[in-house]
Amino acid sequence: MRAPTERQSASETRDRILDAAEALFVEHGFEATTMRMITSRADANIAAVNYHFGSKDALIQEVFKRRLTELNRRRLAALDRQEAEAGGAPLKPSRIVEAFFGTALEMAADTAHGGHTFMRLLGRTYTEPNGFVRQFLAEEYAEAVERFLAALYRALPDVPREEILWRFHFMMGAMSYAIAGTDALQLFAGKFDDAAPERLLPRLMSFLLGGLRAPLPGQGVPGENGRGAPTRQ
């Protein structure tokens, strides 16, 4: 048996490649990241990616699958917990929003496990036009989105479902930028010093809930439901 200090085991090589790829994809994007960059950063051979993953595209998919499955597992677990506590009653919107977006930010705060890196990548990828990655995201997300939307529909029975759908979409955008975070912010505001990550979650939550519960368009007075007929149930 060889000393494990010099060369790590095979499975570790695989993980190092995934970590390196993840970081480089964030930094440079998918296309601009080359196999040579990945393998050199992972301290592996140029042929290792093809050996372990088969192709660059397959590697990209693995980078996502590794974290996304876990993220949505946690999200659904958080939702389950809330629903168990509520015992059949509709949840408060704030609980639902926290289970979905709070879990994501939690994972983004977990720098030790590459959470931050990945969440930035994920946020960016939604709006990116990369065919097979989007297809893949859609599949991985289907179940979670389904359940969270259903919870929101129950929580806000007076709000038209399409309005909720759009607001969910807007919230995703806000979250994406929240995680992309300081980098993008400094782009137009150098004088920015309070980037404390532990304050990000409450900041984002206030904003999201304010947006989610805002008066419907075409209604001047909050609380009063004029047009915008409630959907059934």
Partner DNA sequence: GTCTATAGTGGGATAGAC
Partner DNA sequence: GTCTATCCCACTATAGAC
Among 46, 47, 150, 214, indicate the residue that binds its own copies (CB under 8 A). Answer: 214
- Distance (Å, whole) CA 139 – CA 108: 22
Q: Least distance from C-beta 212 to its own copies, angstroms?
A: 7
| Closest distance of CB 68 from its own copies, Å | 13
User: Which of 48/155 has CB closer to its own copies?
Assistant: 155
Give me the 9-28 binding string for DNA, x by CB under 7 A, dash otherwise.
xx--x---------------
82 forms part of the interface with DNA (CB under 7 A): no
**Which of these ranges, 4-12, 29-37, 80-88, 102-110, lies near its own copies under the rule CB under 8 A?**
29-37
How far is it, in rounded angstroms, from Cα 93 to Cα 86? 12
Site string for its own copies, 118-157 (x = CB under 8 A): --x--xx-xxxxx---x--xx--xx--x---x--------
Which among 170, 199, 188 is positioned nearest to 105, based on CA atoms? 199
Please tell me the number of Cα atoms within 13 Å of 150 on its side-chain side.
10
Of 156, 140, 157, the C-alpha closest to 73 is: 140
Contact status, residue 30 vs residue 22, Cβ threshold 8 Å: no
Residue among 6 and 139 whose Cβ is closer to its own copies: 139
As measured in angstroms, the least distance from the Cβ of 44 to DNA is 5
102 binds, among DNA, its own copies, none (CB under 5 to 8 A by kind): none
Distance (Å, whole) CA 31 – CA 23: 14
- Residue 221, classified by CB atoms within 10 Å of its CB into exposed (0-12), middle (13-18) or buried (19+), is exposed
Q: Measure CA 213 to chain center.
A: 22
Nearer to its own copies, 66 or 124 (CB): 124
Whole-Å CA distances, 195 to 180, 181, 220: 12, 8, 35
Binding site for its own copies (CB under 8 A): 26-29, 31-32, 120, 123-124, 126-130, 134, 137-138, 141-142, 145, 149, 162-163, 165-167, 169-178, 180, 184-185, 187-189, 192-194, 199, 202-218
